Amino acid sequence: MALVWLGAEQITSLEDDAPEARVMQTNYALTRDATLEAADWSFAIERWIPAKDGQSPLTGAQNRFKIPSNIIRVIRVGRPTDGSFGAPDIGTTGDIYSIDRAPQVDHRVESGYILTNEDSISCKGIRRIADEGIYSNLFVHAFAAHLAMLGAYPITESSGKFNAMSALYMLKIKEAKSHDGLQGTSRRVRNRSLLNVR
Domain spans in the chain, listed from the N-terminal domain onward: 2-38+136-181, 44-127
φ/ψ of 134, rounded to 5, equals -85, -20
Question: Which pLDDT band holds residue 128 (cuts at 50, 70, 90)?
Answer: very high
Contact 152, 27 (CB under 8 A): no
How high is the pLDDT of residue 104? 80
Question: Which pLDDT band holds residue 87 (cuts at 50, 70, 90)?
Answer: very low
Provide the 10 A C-beta neighbour count for residue 63. Answer: 19
The β-bridge partners of 116 are 63, 107
Q: What's the CA gap between 175 and 167, in Å, rounded?
A: 12
pTM of the model: 0.76
Q: What's the CA gap between 43 and 135, in Å, rounded?
A: 7
Mean pLDDT on 55-75: 88
Q: What's the CA gap between 138 and 50, in Å, rounded?
A: 32
Question: Which pLDDT band holds residue 80 (cuts at 50, 70, 90)?
Answer: confident
Mean pLDDT on 94-105: 56
φ/ψ of 124, rounded to 5, equals -135, 135
Give the count of alpha carbons within 13 A of 170, CB side only. Answer: 6
Element (H, E) at 63: strand 63-66
Question: Which pLDDT band holds residue 106 (cuts at 50, 70, 90)?
Answer: confident
Contact 99, 90 (CB under 8 A): yes
Calculate what percentage of the chain has a pLDDT beyond 70. 72
In this predicted structure, the answer to whether residue 194 has a pLDDT above a threshold of 80 is no
Calculate what percentage of the chain has a pLDDT beyond 90. 44
